[in-house]
Chains A and B, each alone.
Chain A
Amino acid sequence: MSVLLGLAAVVTVAGALAAIAGRDARIALAGLVVALASAPFLADPLPTPAALGVRIVAALLSGYLLFIVLRETTVVTRGSLVGLPAETLAAAAAFVIGYGTSGLGSAALGPAAASATGFALAVIAVAPIVRGADIFRLGVALAILVTGAELIRVGLAGTPAPLEQLMTAALTVGLLGTVAVLCANVVAATGGLTMRNERRRSALFEAHPLTPTAPSSLGRSWRPRRSGSTPDRAPGRAPAARFAEPASDAEARLKPPAGPGPSGGPESSVGLESTAGPDPSIESTAAEDPPRLDAPIEPPES
């Protein structure tokens, strides 16, 4: 493995790790752009300068498309499910396996470093793809998966032709452009990047959740609480009082205006264009949610 190949491999894997494990979406985006821009250097012989330029420009452009969305919203994502050390170790193991099995039983036309990096990227991308409730993380993981597949292809079949490099660049822009559009839509719908209508917990692996993950539509927890022994009273934890508002108030909020009205009654919501109506639970949560998704749920001022 030459120095350039080794450096490109390390930078690519490090960028992918930052993209997957970073909780600040801008850091994650920077890591992704670094990974995408350094991936074309993992080839022997190197692609033509024009092909390299196209790939780098595509990485920067696609990163900028995502940045347009992220700069106007809260930029915190869920981060890694298993933590950065575990991701790093898994990537390292996959890298070693990929390097050792380069060619998959036969002589490869490309460098072993490309196969190894491809394996590492594929392993890194698996968890968010399988369990991705955050559209940004899902999109980033899919981009890393495609990059990993391309690197495995480079390792097996050699340096791609310029036309393939061009298509790869178009695929990168199309992929992350689509992610940007989806991110913009989910931000407009929920105020954050998550696609599920549930609150984030302050700790990821909390055995006993301190608060209900989502408020009941009637404003009460379905489980009766024992007075005096609820953990809600512990300092720094979210109180149940926030969700224990009178049921009549909550119901009144969720009810549509009574009777057909000229501006927004039931008549106007049932018609030719009412293919997908807003989910009242989502709206109610979005209205109550703080904009930052990672912020711990603080008790309101009583």
Chain B
Amino acid sequence: MNTLTPHQMRTDDFALILAAEECQPDAFDEIHKFSDHDRRLIRKLVAHGPVLLQGGRGTGKSAFMIAASREMAPHNPDSSVLGLYISLRYVPLLQATGQDYEMQFCTWVSRQIQKTLAGQSYNFEDSKDIRLLKNNLTELTKTTNKRVVLLFDDAAHIGRETSLASFFDIFRTLSSETISCKAAIYPGVTEFGTRFDVYNDASVIDVVRSPEQAGFTQLFYNIMTSRYPVLTNERVTGFTLHSLAGFLGRTVLGNVRGFVFACNDLLERAESGDTIGYNLLGDTLIRLAADYYWPLLDEVKPKLGRYVPAVDAAQQVAEVIFQACASNTSQSVLIHRQIVARYSKSFEILEYAGFIARREASRALKSGGRGPRFSINLCNLLERISGSRLTSSLFDSWSEGSGAPTEIHERGVLFDAIDIPHPNDSEDMEILGMQIDILEKSKSYPYGLTRNKINSLKEANIITVGDLANSSDESLLAIDGVGDVFLDRFRSVVGQAIWM
């Protein structure tokens, strides 16, 4: 029987952690690394003032929020600020609007605050409406003599406009001289309700990690060496571990979750004794395209409510972009703004899923007009390149990152075959009516449930994802073989399925 060394054990444990909110607090600092640029962003979350933290899936929003909360009390008792991290991923389904939404939201938030403050010397009362919640928070600032920062993670999602207006109303109302709200939102959240002025009521910060930033390669090297100590210079050939980390970071557009998936895949190959060279690395990129990026669109689709039609268009847009860039061997694409405007939601979905990352908002095209320039992920690009093989010259040229963008101008024909998607009338989420079988562990649901557990749920007459989401803790704990650990697992998986 093989025995894992302490290093290997750490690697195995950490490889499974794909989301900061799933990480045990004791291990957080060990595996979450930040550049100077990131540290500046975290300081903004600790400082007074409302902030919207915007970034696609896996860009590290949760890690930033948790890191900020750890700089404040109660984690850091010496701090003059009380930081309350509240993940809305696990909030019971909030399909209500107006006063109903407010009541459910405030009740839930006050309970989360009570949990965070458990063991402290001060109490926090139940709060059923915004007035009471604000009063109780103000009282908390007085009893603790600290100002309060509320960090709402997973706050706003594409396709949930109705509840978003209520959320941003609450966000604005809670903010005061001693209470600041910070919220993590996804790109594509454009509806903030009638009372919320995005530029005046908050600072919007884009979570961007681009290779041009100072410390980019070092950051990914630090992540790699802290999570995967078995990956050493002896395990690679043709390049150093440092350059591999920078290359992979660039490949996934600075997306930490994509980077972790890539490292996990490399690790599997390395564990079978292979040395990591160009061929093996290229294979990893191709697998990432097939098993991570494309399935993300399938996973997202049933969650998007009225924007479901934009997903099919997003897939076609992606295919056009990657093919065009492969033909020109370029790593970025400049698209006329009118094309982007026509398929705006599809572009937002591609940004969310990490296919593209906007680097410039308005750049001049040679053929006239202006448009945004997007960097594209290199896994899907390699897929489209003839032979799909990563050579040393391709590695070097992509590592340098130079080269002009491919231009797609307004009068071109590339987008002609893509129907312009129109939103559905209904905001209902298809995912809620889907059978819970879709939650079985798969490429789309790497966190998924085992077949046994799904069968147990079905025997308890929990048939759809909506049934599971709406089940009480008590009813789930009554199922044979389900204890607190599995209850958390169910909540986590259904949270991932419903939320973006």
Do A and B actually bind? no
